[in-house]
A and B are shown apart, each in its own frame.
Chain A
Amino acid sequence: GQSLEQPSEVTAVEGAIVQINCTYQTSGFYGLSWYQQHDGGAPTFLSYNALDGLEETGRFSSFLSRSDSYGYLLLQELQMKDSASYFCALLYGQNFVFGPGTRLSVLP
């Protein structure tokens, strides 16, 4: 089956840059997505990598390396509102398999 790993918690200060890693032990997937979920809220889509390389969307960037079975989400110019859980998810056709999630705490 699919297996994804993420750090459980990351802490950073406002204005900093943080990288959240996602490693996996599978193949045959279409791409890697990232979702943000605030406490009590629903997941919201952030980014998707179908191909290896970097995708940039404003302050957020996502990277995928299929040869290294690895991806990451890069958050720049951190703001307090970025405190949330971040999930990577592999896409297999219409089946999304989510990683365990990383709890990001942004400190003033």
Chain B
Amino acid sequence: DTEVTQTPKHLVMGMTNKKSLKCEQHMGHRAMYWYKQKAKKPPELMFVYSYEKLSINESVPSRFSPECPNSSLLNLHLHALQPEDSALYLCASSQDSPGGETQYFGPGTRLLVL
């Protein structure tokens, strides 16, 4: 199984809402990532979890709050977002090195903030 799943596929939320994005993988990967991707732009790294601990936070605003409940699950909690936060949010996972150079991406959650 080389699949990373993400829910929901689409999300529309107001600026006062609280919502969560979910990501799951069953490949035994110990590194999991959140990326943000705007149209026609490359993915931008937001957070990295390694062995269920936050290892990288790329200066992401506090309205985005990641959580790693266990080695297979990764959540991104959203609160008080802005319209400019509308984007495709991608989750990815990889092995701890060696093999960590291959990231497996989920299909993404397309988020629209109104």
Interface residues of A (CB under 8 A from B): 30-31, 33, 35, 41-45, 48, 50, 87, 91, 94-101
Which residue of B40, B41, B94, B103 has the most chain A CB atoms within 10 A of its CB atom?
B103
Q: Are B45 and A43 in contact (CB under 8 A)?
A: no
Q: Is B55 an interface residue (CB 8 A)?
A: yes
Given the known inter-chain contacts A94-B56, A94-B100, A95-B56, please indicate yes or no for A43 contacting B41, CB distance below 8 A. Answer: no
* Residues 68-114 of B at the A interface (beta carbon under 8 Å): 90, 94, 100-108
B42 touches A94 (CB 8 A): no
Chain A residues with CB under 8 Å of B102's CB are: 33, 45, 48
B107 and A95: CB pair below 8 A? no
Q: A42-B106, A42-B107, A43-B90 are in contact. Are A98 and B43 (CB under 8 A)?
A: yes
B21 at the interface (CB under 8 A from A): no
CB–CB A100/B41 < 8 A: yes
Among B33, B45, B101, B107, point to the contact of A50 (Cβ < 8 A): B101
B residues bordering A, Cβ < 8 Å?
31, 33, 40-45, 48, 50, 55-56, 90, 94, 100-108
Contact: B50 with A94, CB < 8 Å? Answer: yes
In the complex, 10 of the A-B residue pairs with CB atoms within 8 angstroms, ordered by the A residue number, are: A33-B103, A35-B103, A43-B43, A43-B90, A45-B103, A94-B33, A94-B56, A94-B94, A98-B43, A101-B41
Contacts of A97 in B (CB 8 A): 45
Across-interface contacts of A44 in B (CB, < 8 A): 105
The interface residues of chain A lying within 8 Å CB-to-CB of B55 are: 94
Contacts of B45 in A (CB 8 A): 95-97
Contacts of A99 in B (CB 8 A): 42
Contact (Cβ within 8 A) B105 A43? yes
Contact yes or no, B42 A100, CB < 8 A:
yes
Q: How far is the CA of A30 from the CA of B64 in the complex (A)?
A: 29
